[in-house]
Amino acid sequence: MIFSDVFVSGAEYPFFRIPGIITTSKGTLIAATECRMTLSDWDTRAIAVKRSEDGGRTWGDIIVIDSTKEDIPVGNPTLIADGGRVWIIWVTDYVNMFVSYSDDDGCTFSPKEPTDALESLRKYVDFRVAAPGPGHGVSLPDGRLIVPFWLAFGGGEYGKPRSHRPSVVSFVYKDDTGWHAADGVIGNIKNLSETSAVWNDGRLMFDLRNEDPNKRRAVAWYENGRLTNAELDPDFPDPICFGSLVMTGSGIIGVNCSNERERRTLALTRIKADGFAESGHQIIWDKAGYADITPSADGGVHVFFEHDEDGDGHVILSVITLSKDEIVI
């Protein structure tokens, strides 16, 4: 196992939250985060990335993708590895979607571009908050890019803090004609929100955070041009926290805080072909938070996660790398 700290609180940015990670076509790891002045979701001042060319052992300098000095947050960076191109998608004021890309393995990124792809979803919910992922999106075999989005419609005034609930989930995709939103939303379980996606058996699968009192993750599908209702997964406990999925050579592996009561016992879980979790979990860290996951070169995984060992609120973002042989679920 390899362990490394990636983002640690400092003078310029006291707090880091919301991890996302991908492996590029060259094997480089790119890790994304929000840079915050406080732990408030509405006090994010920048989104940034770092690169690792040695499998997560060491990390380069921080690369700021977008920033603000105003009381308007910039956040929820979501990465996609698209062949030789790396995409990053985010929002400002939790509603305005932007994209940027890199063609040099994440060393530099293009100027940010706005897109109004989300607007077509207003026919389903008059959302006041919208955010991608977070974590990473999916590049499909046909070239489409998929970014899960959650949408909250509790009202409130743009430019000011607004409620993150009630909420539903949909997705945005990119094809040869640009960025578009899916035709439909998932909203049959209480306050579906932060979501991970994976391409599974020719279908697009979504793993969803939610606020159902059963404290279980949920699964939904996009097939035949339609989003299905979400179903609670009885073998996938979750304390209402973002977790993520990735396709590896040995199948789908999920990571989350496998705990009904609090954000701890960060664990790996194997996902069956039907989208539901196997009953066993491999705990890799105790006290943790949001986590994303990406494949390693040797068939293992890199897990990029939040933790706070000293309890003072200075969230640290670190990577654990497990080889294929170290994954025992």
| pLDDT at 23 > cutoff 70 | yes
Question: What percent of the chain is predicted at pLDDT more than 90?
Answer: 93
- Residue-wise pLDDT tens digits, 266-305: 999 999 999 999 989 999 999 999 999 999 988 999 999 9
Candidates 15, 27, 25; CA nearest to 321 is 27
- Residue-wise pLDDT tens digits, 95-133: 999 999 999 999 999 999 999 999 999 999 999 999 999
Residue 248 exposed, middle or buried by CB count within 10 Å (0-12, 13-18, 19+) = middle
What is the value of pTM for the model shown? 0.97
**Torsions phi, psi of 324, nearest 5?**
-55, -40
| pLDDT at 140 > cutoff 70 | yes
**Tokens linked to 49:** 């990335």
Find the mean pLDDT for residues 206-212. 98
Average pLDDT, the chain: 96
**Three-class SS state of 120:** helix
**Torsions phi, psi of 58, nearest 5?**
-135, 160
Residue 156 exposed, middle or buried by CB count within 10 Å (0-12, 13-18, 19+) = middle
Q: Are 6 and 50 in contact (CB under 8 A)?
A: yes
- The residue type found at 234 is P
Name the band, by pLDDT with cuts 50, 70 and 90, for residue 308.
Answer: confident
CATH number at residue 176: 2.120.10.10
**Tokens linked to 181:** 């939103």
Provide CB contacts within 8 A for 217, sequence distance 6+: 207, 208, 209, 210, 232, 233, 236, 237, 238, 243, 254, 256, 277
Provide CB contacts within 8 A for 3, sequence distance 6+: 318, 319, 320, 321
Name the band, by pLDDT with cuts 50, 70 and 90, for residue 193.
Answer: very high
Q: Are 40 and 29 in contact (CB under 8 A)?
A: no
What is the tally of structural domains in the chain? 1
Distances (CA, A) of 326 to 5, 271, 284, 320: 20, 17, 10, 11
Residue-number span of the structural domain to which 299 is assigned: 2-326
pLDDT at site 268: 98
Find the mean pLDDT for residues 166-188. 98
Residue whose entry in the numeric block shows the structure tokens 């009381």:
71
- Residue-wise pLDDT tens digits, 51-101: 999 999 999 999 999 999 878 999 999 999 999 999 999 999 999 999 999
Q: Are 56 and 321 in contact (CB under 8 A)?
A: yes
Find the mean pLDDT for residues 42-49. 96
Highest mean pLDDT (candidates 5-14, 69-78, 137-146)? 137-146
